[in-house]
Chains A and B, each alone.
Chain A
Amino acid sequence: MSWIKKFAKSSFRLYSGNTISAFQPLDFFHFHPLWYDLWLHRIVAVMDNLMLEQKHYREISDILETPSSIRSILQKLTPAYKGSEVKNIEDYKRIASFFARMLEESCPADPFAELTNPFHTTEEVNHMLANLPWQDANVSIAKRLGQLLAVAGSLVHGQYNDIVTDMGWDTYGPYRVRHQTQQYSLLIRHFPNLTPKELWPEQFLASVSDLKIYALYQDIEWEIAYVGCHTIAKNGNPVEGLKKFTVISDGKVLKEKQIAALIEELAEKAETIYRKIRTMNFEELKQMVMLQECFQMKKMFDAADIDWRPTQEMVDRVKDKPLLTGILPLGTLMTDLEEYKEIFGINLFAREVLGDKA
């Protein structure tokens, strides 16, 4: 069975109960089809250069981003194909099939995160439980950690934009674990790069680059809906349910005072960067969004010794061009899977690109 059915069911959770007009700071879905064919053709060149289609995820994990980032890349292919005038079917097919396989190999238990994002093996999880310096939580620190997640999430929202956020924020788990005679749900929130210096000047970068928040909860049922930043507590409250935690930034365990200082810093940076984005004109926004989109593949392009940044042809393609119109309904609240598959071009993609039915 093709992966597209599972993909459709899971990715629907990304948009269910949401409207496309809520995405910021640009209407991506009417922008990407203007230039995506050129970018995809370059990705295929990199895949050929590195012979990626012959390699297992384990061999190339160091040049790929987080699983949620890969899911986000997949998610954008179908509306781009639907809206693009240039339908380079073979490029779409090879890229989609490659990234779908990477997810099947990296998260075999739930590749498209219908309910979970199980990126770690049991051995890796047990190693974390045994070796991390767990601290007891209380309501006060649980609120602090919620604030830390909110400010770090807001910073990457600006640094990477609304639909590249997943490159800067993933959540792994929930893993049902036993630790010191108690049962818990383990969630690992990961901000892998808070300092994307290729995208922003120094004043918009955090003082720390890698941030991991490990949390053990009780009496909460967690779900992850397609991408890590869409982590949902199905019942219970994360503030009351947090029992143990540890926060590690750039390899160092943070104490409560350091966490408070980091919240203050990241909140200010998140606000500053988005105020800057709000001052950008339409042409600047288009260039920024294109650069952020291409940045997702930087490691792969670097490995192939090919410049990851947009080519002049890509830049020229969008210069002084308005956004496309009518590809997706901006204000419609998505509530039905079948409607979603039509609107986002998944049925079309399955039929024309994969030779399948969604």
Chain B
Amino acid sequence: MPKLLLQGIPASSGIAEGKANIFFSGNDAGTFNEGEILITTITDPTMVQAMIKAAAIVTDMGGITSHPAILSREMGIPCIVNTQRGTTLIKSGAKLKVDGSKGEVYVLD
């Protein structure tokens, strides 16, 4: 049964499921696998190779016109921004469901 873990601002609609990958600016994109959920404080262009592999993006900061929101909408993947606590509450490897329309992140396992 999915358990609601945290909420943020809905920035790009859609629903995606996948493993969480806590990923920060400057990290090696080789450690990010296709279809994972990118969890970070705020994205920047050093993360773009991971972003284009992501099934969804969840950030601690930002708004609906911030970098992750704009790029997620262009790629048609769910995005939630301004969760404030995503990088501290979510563990890498956790199976998540991201609802970009409601701005909600659920834990699946």
Contacts and interface: CB of A to CB of B under 8 A. Distances in A.
A333 B45 contact: no
Given A17-B65, A229-B70, A333-B82, 14 more contacts: A14-B65, A18-B66, A19-B82, A21-B61, A22-B61, A24-B42, A146-B74, A146-B77, A147-B75, A150-B51, A150-B52, A153-B71, A238-B73, A239-B75
A230 B61 CA distance: 18
Nearest to A239: B76
A133 B9 CA distance: 39
A154 interface: yes
Interface string A223-242: 00100011111000111100
- How many of chain B's residues touch chain A, expressed as a range? 20 to 34
17 contacts: A17-B64, A17-B65, A18-B63, A24-B42, A25-B44, A142-B76, A143-B76, A146-B76, A150-B52, A154-B67, A225-B65, A231-B73, A232-B73, A238-B76, A267-B48, A275-B26, A333-B82
Contacts of B62: 18-19, 22
Contacts of A21: 61
- How many of chain A's residues touch chain B, expressed as a range? 35 or more
Given A17-B9, A143-B75, A273-B45, A278 B67 contact: no
Interface string A280-295: 0000000000000000
B74 A278 contact: no
Contact of B46 (A16, A146, A230, A274): A274
A101 B6 CA distance: 46
B87 to A, nearest CB: 15
A152 to B, nearest CB: 10
A333 B94 CA distance: 29
Given A17-B9, A153-B70, A270 B48 contact: yes
B33 interface: no
B88 interface: no
Contacts of A334: 63
B70 A274 contact: no
Contacts of B45: 154-155, 157-158, 270-271, 273-274
Given A18-B65, A22-B61, A22-B66, A268 B49 contact: yes
Interface in B67-86: 67, 70-71, 73-77, 82
Contacts of A333: 63, 82
A149 B77 CA distance: 13
Nearest to A146: B75
B86 to A, nearest CB: 15
Given A143-B76, A238-B73, A240-B76, A150 B65 contact: no
B65 A16 contact: yes
Pairs A-B, 10 closest by C-beta atoms: A18-B63, A146-B75, A239-B76, A154-B45, A274-B45, A149-B74, A154-B48, A17-B63, A17-B64, A150-B71
Contacts of A25: 44
B11 to A, nearest CB: 8
Contacts of A95: none
Contacts of B46: 271, 274-275, 278
B40 interface: no
